[in-house]
Chain A
Amino acid sequence: EAGVTQFPSHSVIEKGQTVTLRCDPISGHDNLYWYRRVMGKEIKFLLHFVKESKQDESGMPNNRFLAERTGGTYSTLKVQPAELEDSGVYFCASSQEDTMLYGYTFGSGTRLTVV
């Protein structure tokens, strides 16, 4: 089966611009997660979808970040307007069940650079 797919793999934008990241989870996985790693820091949780509903968005840093998962398939994460501190790697992950027994499958990430 195809893994978790993220694109773009890299994005360089200017401060104040808008960027939209996309994640295609493994087919049939109801649970979709967004994480990000700011340079040199921990990988931090952003939010969790169950199908099209936001189960937990406690990690979203501020209202410049908007995540959607219309139809419960792919998800987008929009940053508007982007700031310098938003630079980092954004990871998406999916799982079939809401269980942590085997962790979940991550995508390759989108490296976002805001200049």
Chain B
Amino acid sequence: GEDVEQSLFLSVREGDSSVINCTYTDSSSTYLYWYKQEPGAGLQLLTYIFSNMDMKQDQRLTVLLNKKDKHLSLRIADTQTGDSAIYFCAEYMNSGYSTLTFGKGTMLLVSP
């Protein structure tokens, strides 16, 4: 099975909140990340959370981590059309190699 799973598509209206969910399987994950990819652009690090945290807030972004259920979510408040992009969840396991395991990405479409 896949290590990191995400729903593939989310559609919201401008001004609404968006919640993108992610589940991971490795309980030894130490860092979890959200990356954003806009069309034609690279992967932009949006935010990250340490595994010993439950929540992290950064302006319109709120990350929630439920270690028991291995569930990570990204909430975007007051979603704008410029937030339309693919959002990737990624985990890092402290196995001695600094590699990331990504999900397939969630395409967020924000309509006016």
Contact residues of A: prevailing secondary structure:
loop
Q: Is the CB of A107 within 8 A of B42?
A: yes
Q: Is the CB of A102 within 8 A of B48?
A: yes
- A106 CB-CB contact with B under 8 Å: yes
| Contact-residue bracket for chain B | 20 to 34
Q: Which residues of B contact A40 (CB under 8 A)?
A: 104
List 29 A-B pairs, Cβ < 8 Å.
A4-B42, A31-B98, A33-B99, A35-B100, A35-B102, A40-B104, A41-B104, A42-B2, A42-B105, A43-B100, A44-B102, A45-B99, A56-B99, A59-B99, A100-B30, A100-B98, A101-B31, A102-B45, A102-B48, A103-B33, A103-B45, A103-B48, A103-B90, A104-B98, A105-B45, A106-B43, A107-B42, A108-B42, A109-B42
- B4 CB-CB contact with A under 8 Å: yes
CA gap between A94 and B26 in the complex, in Å? 24
Q: Is the CB of A42 within 8 A of B97?
A: no
- B87 CB-CB contact with A under 8 Å: no
Which of B's residues lie within 8 Å of A, judged by CB? 2, 4, 30-31, 33, 35, 40-45, 48, 88, 90, 92, 94, 97-105
CA gap between A34 and B103 in the complex, in Å? 16
Q: Is the CB of B104 within 8 A of A42?
A: yes
Q: Which residues of B contact A108 (CB under 8 A)?
A: 40-42
Number of interface residues of A (CB under 8 A): 31
Residue of B nearest to A105 (CB): B45
Residue of A nearest to B4 (CB): A42
Q: Which residues of A contact B2 (CB under 8 A)?
A: 42
